Each structure stands twice: as structure tokens, then as C-alpha cells.
């Protein structure tokens, strides 16, 4: 149950999947706003960071909008979707014609590398199973559930992995640290499972995450 002051903001990153992410939230009757207004982002109950394309282009857009410090300082629940998840990490090897990796937001201490598909076609595109953890983002999601992926780069398995999948190599299907979490797959294209994940995110607040961390620490 949300209150009149409960707000969910999708950051306008100028990426092509903004509308599909917004529609996915609207399908579950969530009231969301797409904006790059810094004050609105800071005041939101929860924030979504979407993205498709290259990390370098997305980081350039965030920098041009003066949003980098705003995002890294957020204390409310933040969900990165696809490229948005990758932007939460320290750097990405999706460098295009540049010789150096792209510096990302540096919130979660892992790096994005090319997916070792071991001969399977890239990009990894289509339905694949995930193995989940007890993270509240996956409440009610059975291990082995199918979600929809489109990607050629991935976060490796690490201490920040909250869901995993395999396409050639095992990789992080979702990562999290404190109030920041991200999914490599597209919940907006993942039918009922994706809708449940978004519903789980919509239940999160700063207070609920702090309570969960307290319970884990006990």
C-alpha cells in the first residue's frame, strides 16, 4: 500500500527503452514519473535507472545532465535495468572504438566484461532461467524461473550477486549493494515473473531496506 507522498521516478537517461519500462510499471498500476529533474529524483521514494545501448553513451548523457553525483548519493531503493544495472558498477569493457574501459558510477565494486558465451551466439537474446537468492527483489520468484535477456556484456559472479544465470559461463543476472540493485534481464519483457519483480520493488522503501539489513545483521 502506497501513500500520497509515495513517488517512483524513472530517470530520463535518453535511452530507447524508457517507454517500455514506464509501461511495465503502469501495467502493475504503479504511478511513475519519467524525469531528469534533480530535485524530483532526490525526493522520490524509489528510483529506476533504465538503459540500453553502450555504457559510454549512457554515462555521457548522465554527465551532461549533471546526474552522476545525484545518483551516487541516493539513499532510497534504486533499481538499475539492463544497461542501468551495468552503470552501477565501476567500469565497463563495452568501450566501442576507445582503448580504455568506460568508467561507470562506481557504486557496486564489480566490473562489466564481455560475456564468454563459449561459442553460443551473441548477443545472449531470449528467455533463460535464473537462480535467485532471498533478496526481497525476488520474493515469490521460484528458482529456475524464466526471464528475458538481451546482452553481450555481463557482471561476473561476485559477493554482490543476488541472482545468477548461465549462457556459456555463469554470470550475475542481478546484483545489489545496500539500497542499490540491478537486473541484467528485462523485467518489462519478462511477463508475469518480470511483473512480480517490479511489484516487489514497488514495496521497497528506505525504511524497509534498513529493517531488512538490521534483521540480517542479528
pLDDT of residue 218: 47
pLDDT of residue 90: 98
CATH number for position 81: 3.40.50.880
- Asked whether residue 68 is domain-assigned, the answer is yes
Q: Which of 82, 94, 102, 104 is catalytic?
A: 82
| 191-216 exposure pattern, b = at least 16 Cβ within 10 A, e = fewer | eebbbbbbbbbbebbeeebeeeeeee
Three-state DSSP class for residue 146: strand
Q: Choosing from 104, 151, 186, 215, which is the catalytic residue? A: 186
pLDDT at 3 over 60: no
Domain carrying residue 148: 8-211
18-27 and 191-202 helices cross at what angle (nearest 10)? 80
* Predicted confidence (pLDDT) per residue in 165-217, tens digit: 999 999 999 999 999 999 999 999 999 999 999 999 999 988 877 766 655 54
Is 82 tagged catalytic?
yes
Please write the tens of the pLDDT for every residue from 48-101. 999 888 888 899 999 999 999 999 999 999 999 999 999 999 999 987 667 789
Q: How many structural domains comprise the chain? A: 1
Whether the pLDDT of residue 1 is over 50: the answer is: no
Percentage of the chain beyond pLDDT 90 is 82
Amino acid at each position: 500500500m502506497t501513500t500520497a507522498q509515495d513517488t517512483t521516478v524513472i530517470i530520463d537517461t535518453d535511452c530507447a527503452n524508457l517507454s517500455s519500462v514506464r509501461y511495465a510499471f503502469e501495467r502493475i498500476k504503479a504511478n511513475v514519473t519519467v524525469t531528469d529533474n534533480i530535485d524530483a529524483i532526490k525526493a522520490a521514494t524509489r528510483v529506476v535507472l533504465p538503459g540500453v545501448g553502450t555504457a559510454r553513451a549512457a554515462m555521457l548523457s548522465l554527465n551532461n545532465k549533471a546526474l552522476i553525483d545525484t545518483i551516487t548519493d541516493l539513499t532510497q531503493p534504486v533499481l538499475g535495468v539492463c544497461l542501468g544495472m551495468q552503470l552501477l558498477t565501476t567500469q565497463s569493457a563495452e568501450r566501442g572504438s576507445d582503448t580504455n574501459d568506460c568508467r561507470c558510477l562506481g557504486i557496486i565494486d564489480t566490473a562489466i566484461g564481455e560475456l564468454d558465451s563459449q561459442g553460443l551466439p551473441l548477443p545472449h537474446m531470449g528467455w533463460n532461467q535464473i537462480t535467485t537468492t532471498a533478496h526481497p527483489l525476488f520474493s515469490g520468484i521460484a528458482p529456475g524461473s524464466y526471464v528475458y535477456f538481451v546482452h553481450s556484456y555481463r557482471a561476473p559472479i561476485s559477493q554482490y550477486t543476488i541472482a545468477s544465470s548461465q549462457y556459456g559461463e555463469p554470470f550475475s543476472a542481478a546484483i545489489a549493494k545496500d539500497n542499490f540493485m540491478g537486473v541484467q534481464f528485462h523485467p518489462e519483457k519478462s511477463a508475469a515473473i518480470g511483473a512480480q519483480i517490479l511489484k516487489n520493488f514497488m514495496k521497497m522503501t528506505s525504511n524497509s531496506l534498513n529493517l531488512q539489513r538490521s534483521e540480517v545483521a542479528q
